[in-house]
Amino acid sequence: MISTLQKLIARLPIDPYLLLLIGTVGLAALLPAQGSGKVIADAAVSVAVALLFFLYGARLSPQAVWSGLANWRLQGLTFASTFILFPLIGLALQATLRPFLPHDLLVGMLYLCLLPSTVQSSIAFTSIARGNVPAALCSASVSNLLGVVITPLLVSLLLPGSSVGFSTKALEDIGMQILLPFVVGQAARPLIGDWLLRHRTLTSVVDRGSVLLVVYAAFSAGMVAGVWSQLSVWDLAVVLGLCLLVLALVIGATTWASRRFGFDIPDEIAIVFCGSKKSMAGGLPMATILFPGHAVGMIVLPLMLFHQAQLFVCATLARRYGARDQRATAMPGKALSA
């Protein structure tokens, strides 16, 4: 019976992890964490996030960082996409859609645009597409490290009227929950780094499990506060459409810029996949720190929708890149054949 169910799920045209996310949201709707349950859920989230970033630090090779940093043109273009192009798009959307969407959803759309890139999916898709994997590893990792400081600063600068954003307390919390575990992981890397690379399932379980815990805690808070009654199907459809629009704009812009500045196709692939992603694993826990007392569940909803959209779109794009003729890798700036 279980084997049949697993085969059925494998055949579905949907990421099984998306089913888990949907199930987690449903669980939060039926059995939201409140009272002592909320205290336990919040503590579990803090532990899971700290463990996640400890494992990130223990797996990341310092040599890979320095090697990738040497390609400063690629890193600069990816950085510009992540922390300049995305925020400009977010500001434009906020100014345009202010009369049409609830305030917290607008805050969520802009917050989405201020986050760093992903790590795992950026590297995975770059590998599938036969791109520059070391550069992608460095770019995504450095983006996450810089995002610990840059994202709170951008929130403070671009959301000054929302009573949220950067504060000394927020920086301390981020440092304790994210940056400190990462540094400790780097220190422990000589002892456990090789073992972790041989047991990738552990980091995958912690990565995905921490996201599920954060989603449950965030959506539970939204249920208890009654924020979901304020949303309509139209609101959800509009946000999903906006996420797809943002993703299309950034993929188009990074592809054009890569070819305009003469990058070869492997570098173009790293730029497109690292420059078009936003990290749900880092964005969700950071939101709980940066938006205390707010409807975090509604604020992170655009991020959750964008995360799923980027997985589906980039999976298709990676397969298209990967199917290109081998000779294309030596033809910088050339468009991919259809």
pLDDT in tens, the chain (338 residues): 445 544 554 555 555 766 777 788 788 888 888 888 888 887 887 788 788 778 877 877 767 656 666 778 898 999 999 999 999 999 999 888 888 888 888 888 999 999 998 876 787 778 778 888 778 877 877 787 788 788 888 888 887 655 444 455 555 666 677 678 878 888 898 888 888 878 777 777 776 777 677 778 767 776 776 666 666 788 888 888 999 999 999 999 999 999 999 999 999 999 999 999 998 777 877 887 787 666 677 788 888 888 878 877 887 788 788 876 544 444 444 444 33
* Amino acid letter for position 152: P
CA-based angle 86:90:95, to the nearest 5? 150
- 298-316 in b/e burial notation, b at 16+ Cβ within 10 A? bbbbbbbbbbbbbbebbee
pLDDT of residue 331: 46
Q: Residue 69 and residue 60: Cα distance in Å, rounded?
A: 14
Q: Residue 93 and residue 100: Cα distance in Å, rounded?
A: 11
| 0.75 exceeded by pTM | no
pLDDT of residue 182: 78
* Amino acid letter for position 37: G
- Asked if residue 270 lies in contact with residue 139, where contact means CB atoms within 8 angstroms, the answer is yes
Alpha helices in 159-263 (DSSP H): 168-174, 180-198, 200-225, 233-260
Q: Residue 292 and residue 221: Cα distance in Å, rounded?
A: 11
**Domain-by-domain residue ranges, the chain?**
34-322
**CATH entry 1.20.1530.20 includes domain 34-322:** yes
